[in-house]
Amino acid sequence: MANAEDIQWFKEQFHAEIEAKVAETVFDLDMLTAIACQETGEIWPVLRKEPGLSVAQIVALCVGDTLDRPRTFPRNMSDLISAPHGQEMFDIARKALVDMAVHIKSYQGAAAIPAKFVKGFGIWQFDLPHRQLGICRLTESAMS
């Protein structure tokens, strides 16, 4: 989980972009930092300390949520693949898991299972269904 130094790093890296986007809203840098800590606070604090990773690569590697879901899309691999562009989404989500697990040991077990994939993308964990709406473009372009 993120500590005070990690939070300071996050704010230094993202404050300008966040503050520009939340101007004249009820949101602020502290709130979005707290959400980032909740959603991916076990990932970016580790990645930021790895030599050679750019901020864009760190953002791209902030993926998660490998649990099968009984009620929401996608429930599992076959549910995802059966959707329009499902194989493409699976390939992206699977590669994201494998790439992230190289750096985050707690995900290596899931990455070892060929049917597993991530369902959350980015520092704030947009769910995979948002991929259909084009929200995960930054993650995809940074992974390429």
pTM for the full predicted model: 0.83
Provide the Cα torsion 16, 45, 38, 119; round to 10°: 100
What pLDDT is stored for residue 67 in this prediction?
Answer: 86
Res 139 pLDDT > 80 = no
- Write out pLDDT tens, residues 12-51: 999 999 999 999 999 999 999 999 999 999 999 999 999 9
Short-list 61, 135, 119, 39, CA closest to 86: 119
Residue 98: Cβ within 10 Å count: 18
pLDDT in tens, 49-107: 999 999 999 999 999 899 887 888 888 999 999 988 899 989 999 999 999 999 999 99
Q: Measured on CA atoms in the order 72, 77, 80, 82, is the torsion positive or negative?
A: negative
